[in-house]
Amino acid sequence: MAATITPARTLTLRLLKTFVWGGGVLLVPLTALYFFPGLSILAGKVKDTSPYCTTGKAVTDAQLRLQQDKDTKVLRAASKKIKSENGLDLWETPQGTWWLPSGNDDILFVLLAQQDRNIYGTAETGGVRPGDVVFDAGAHVGTYVRKALKAGAAKVIAIEPSPDALDALRRNLEKEIADGRVIIVPKGVWDKDETLVFYSNGAGAAGDSFVTKGVGAKEIRIPVTTVDLIAAELKLDKIDLIKADVKGASERMLHGSVKTIAANHPRFVISTEEEPEDPKALADFLASQDKRYHARGGPCLYTGDAIRSDTMFFGIQ
């Protein structure tokens, strides 16, 4: 005997079909987000985009930041604080021991994870090549300095203005300094030799700046100098690569490098992920010094309301 299809059963079947269909529709974007998490950018409001980025590239490159976040957590979990001394903490990590200003533990693992993903390039992509003399403007506690030496740099000039970070930097690179492979310049990098107000935005948290003032920043006066003056004082025969993470001071740094640019044509890799860094202005200035300078954008990262070039690479072609 055939089952009687009652109005209630008809309604139930319709609701079931709707649920299955709706679930399938919902499953498609969820599956896409699982494999391409950067697609979430398309749902956000983007007020600004780097001229070296596209939304499509930012969607693809989002995976880099997600992987970096995972690597940061893995490094943190595998590390332990050994001791504290004079405002510094000593950490044992899978990438060696590191002194760090107390109070900002997480920044060390972010910086180490950035080096793992070669944020400042490789020998093939504009980074350190064997035998290079390297300037590291914004050396912080030395994560990039160690990376550069491991990549074969003959000498690294580590420029760092933060008193908190300098203490840790000297301890982390004590042997390399003694060997003459690392030279510390305890100043900021600028377009002239003077003393400026320095905004200490968080006890060595790698966000200190001469340009941007954070909430609750401590103001101190710190000497600044230029790449050209450092090169002259150290009597360097060559400068191959200048890496800079100087929190808004990159244009000033380039203006203070004109003699070095003319004499050495160094490669540059500059962190531009934060305002007010302007990738196009940097490219335009270098092109004005030598038309052979070519600009290449690194990963394109979504910062919440903008898509910015994580780093910019410049070299003679």
Express each pLDDT in 147-181 by its tens digit: 999 999 999 999 999 998 999 999 999 999 999 99
Whether residue 35 is contained in a domain is answered as: no
Cis peptide bond prior to 276, omega within 30° of 0:
yes
Distances (CA, A) of 234 to 133, 190, 231, 304: 12, 17, 5, 42
The tokens describing 3, both together, are: 């089952």
Determine the pLDDT at residue 33.
38
Whether residue 48 is contained in a domain is answered as: yes
Whether residue 66 is contained in a domain is answered as: no
Determine the pLDDT at residue 5.
53
Q: Give the containing element (helix H, strand E) for 46.
A: none
Q: Where are the strands (E) in 178-229, listed by range?
A: 182-185, 188-189, 194-200, 218-225
Determine the pLDDT at residue 303.
80
Point out the residues of the chain with pLDDT beneath 70.
Answer: 1-45, 47-48, 201-206
Determine the pLDDT at residue 22.
55
Determine the pLDDT at residue 31.
44
Q: What is the pTM of this model?
A: 0.86
Whether residue 90 is contained in a domain is answered as: no
Determine the pLDDT at residue 12.
57
Whether residue 299 is contained in a domain is answered as: yes
Determine the pLDDT at residue 289.
98
Determine the pLDDT at residue 56.
84
If one counts the domains in the chain, the total is 1
> How far is it, in rounded angstroms, from Cα 59 to Cα 301?
8
Whether residue 109 is contained in a domain is answered as: no
Determine the pLDDT at residue 26.
43
> How far is it, in rounded angstroms, from Cα 119 to Cα 61?
12
Determine the pLDDT at residue 103.
86
Q: Give the containing element (helix H, strand E) for 238.
A: none
Whether residue 311 is contained in a domain is answered as: yes
Determine the pLDDT at residue 210.
86
**Domain containing residue 191: CATH number:** 3.40.50.150
Determine the pLDDT at residue 216.
77
- Biggest CA-to-CA distance, the chain: 102
Whether residue 246 is contained in a domain is answered as: yes
Domain membership of residue 177 as a residue range: 44-59+123-316
